[in-house]
Amino acid sequence: MDSKPTILILCTGNSCRSHIGEGFLRAALVDLANVQSAGSKPAGYVHPLAIKVMAEVGIDISAHRSKHLKEFTEQSVNTVITVCGNADQACPIFPGQLNRHHWPFFDPAHATGTDAEILNCFRTVRDEMRRVFEAYAAGLHDARK
């Protein structure tokens, strides 16, 4: 059994935002936590543009897979972070859950416009999420000092 606390990031489709958050937290926390993501209605894939924009900042999420939150209902989850309103409403209480945060972000999978405009939307959401998740990770590091 992994002794590290589990942080679960949830969104509806588990194709973009939750994977971006998972990527940033895994990179920032390294071995301090078991960081996972899931969705209440998983899309079944990780969006190619989410993979692309994360690669642009040096984080590889290409091996991530879209998962249903039910995969975690029997596991001890210390912290749940929802990144969309639908997941926040559908989120159950997990065994061992001590913390819950709701940080909503626009779903870039719903962006419209030219290919360049859609890619820019993914980058904007990535950058917003980076600020929030890296600040959260810094707080967790500070708490360990």
The residues that are catalytic are 11, 84, 91
Report how far residue 7's alpha carbon sits from residue 51's, in angstroms, rounded to the nearest whole number. 21
Strand order in the sheet with 34-39: 34-39, 6-11, 79-82, 99-102
Report how far residue 26's alpha carbon sits from residue 31's, in angstroms, rounded to the nearest whole number. 8
Alpha carbon dihedral 2, 9, 127, 104, in 10-degree steps, equals -160
Report how far residue 118's alpha carbon sits from residue 65's, in angstroms, rounded to the nearest whole number. 22
